[in-house]
């Protein structure tokens, strides 16, 4: 019963994930694309939930589904409706090359996973304890096994913050000089 429920939820989440991903690239109005991206991130969060990653799922909704996508929508709404002059309706030829490359990469990944599955390399069940995916376990992993990655990420964020300040102060000085 429980397994069947998991399967049903997985089916709908996976389907929503694919459908919203397709919608992101096929809408001509960027506002709708951004909304579809929110749907994509939300259905990914459901998939994380199925993998017992509660904290990761909530973080996904809070940070990506919430804060980051609000910024996307904010900018898109601020710039107004530019559907007719949008570079993505039509698009230069290098985008086609990029699309083919990305499609090929996904196809290769699918082939590898199917091959691994057929070869029996994936049928190694891991024990998932009660504390798996809990904030405590995640925090411990960040501060022990993955400390370097954790700290390097914080430096990347710091660089981004400093970059934002530099860009902002630069434009302000220019407008002051003009005035």
Partner 1 sequence: MTREAWWITIPKAFVVINVVMVFFAFTTWLERKLLGRMQLRFGPNRAGPKGLLVPIADLLKLIRKEAFAPMAAKEPLYIIAPVVSMFTALAAFSVIPWGNGWTVWGHHIEGQVVNVPISLILIFALGSVGIYGFIIGGWASDSKFSMLGSMRTCAQLVSYEVSLALSVLGVVLMAQSINLVEVVQKQQTTLWFFIPQFVGLAVFLIGGTAETSRPPFDLPEADTELVAGYHTEYSGMRWGLFQAAEYINMITLSGLCVTLFFDGYHFPWVPWLDQFGPIWFVLKLFALVSTFIWLRATQPRLRYDQLMRFGWKVLLPVATVNALATAFLVVLVK
Buried b (16+ CB within 10 A) or exposed e, 87-121: eeeeeeeeeeeeeeeeeeeeeeeeeeeeeeeeeee
Query: Six-digit token pair at 144?
Result: 């022990």
Is 71 near partner 1 (CB under 8 A)? yes
Is 168 near partner 1 (CB under 8 A)? no
Cα within 13 Å of Cα(75), Cβ side: 7
Give 17 or 57: the residue with its C-beta nearer to partner 1: 57
Tell me which of 91, 103, 115, 135 binds partner 1, using CB under 8 A. 135
Give 17 or 61: the residue with its C-beta nearer to partner 1: 61
Tell me which of 10, 23, 47, 66 binds partner 1, using CB under 8 A. 66
Give 4 or 78: the residue with its C-beta nearer to partner 1: 78
CA–CA gap between residue 44 and residue 63 (Å, rounded): 13
What's the closest the beta carbon of residue 61 comes to partner 1, in angstroms?
Answer: 4
Q: Which residues, 77 to 96, sit near partner 1 by CB under 8 A?
A: 77-78
Cα within 13 Å of Cα(3), Cβ side: 0
Task: Name residues whose C-beta falls within 8 Å of residue 8's C-beta, 6 or more positions apart in sequence.
Answer: none
The site that binds partner 1 (CB under 8 A) totals a number of residues, namely 20
Binding letters toward partner 1, positions 10-49, x by CB under 8 A: ---------------------x---x--x-----------
Is 137 near partner 1 (CB under 8 A)? no
Return the residue matching tokens 């001509």.
Answer: 28
| CA-angle at 114, arms to 113 and 116, nearest 5° | 65
Query: Six-digit token pair at 108?
Result: 């290769």
Cβ atoms 20, 36 nearer than 8 A: yes
Is 157 near partner 1 (CB under 8 A)? no
Is 54 near partner 1 (CB under 8 A)? yes
Question: Which positions lie near partner 1, rule CB under 8 A?
Answer: 31, 35, 38, 54-55, 58-59, 61-62, 65-67, 70-71, 73-74, 77-78, 134-135
């Amino acid at each position: 019963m429980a397994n069947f429920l998991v399967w049903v939820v997985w089916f709908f989440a996976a389907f929503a994930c694919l459908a919203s991903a397709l919608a992101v690239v096929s809408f001509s109005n960027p506002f709708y694309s951004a909304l579809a991206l929110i749907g994509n991130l939300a259905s990914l969060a459901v998939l994380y939930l199925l993998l017992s990653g509660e904290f990761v799922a909530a973080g996904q909704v809070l940070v990506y589904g919430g804060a980051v996508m609000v910024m996307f929508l904010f900018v898109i709404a601020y710039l107004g409706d530019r559907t007719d002059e949008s570079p993505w309706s039509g698009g230069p030829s290098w985008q086609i090359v990029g699309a083919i490359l990305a499609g090929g990469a996904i196809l290769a990944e699918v082939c590898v996973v199917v091959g691994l599955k057929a070869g029996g390399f994936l049928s190694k069940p891991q024990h998932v304890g009660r504390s798996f995916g809990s904030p405590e376990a995640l925090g411990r992993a960040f501060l022990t096994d993955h400390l370097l990655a954790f700290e390097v990420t914080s430096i990347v964020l710091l660089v981004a913050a400093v970059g934002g300040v530099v860009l902002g102060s630069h434009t302000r000085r220019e407008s002051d000089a003009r005035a």
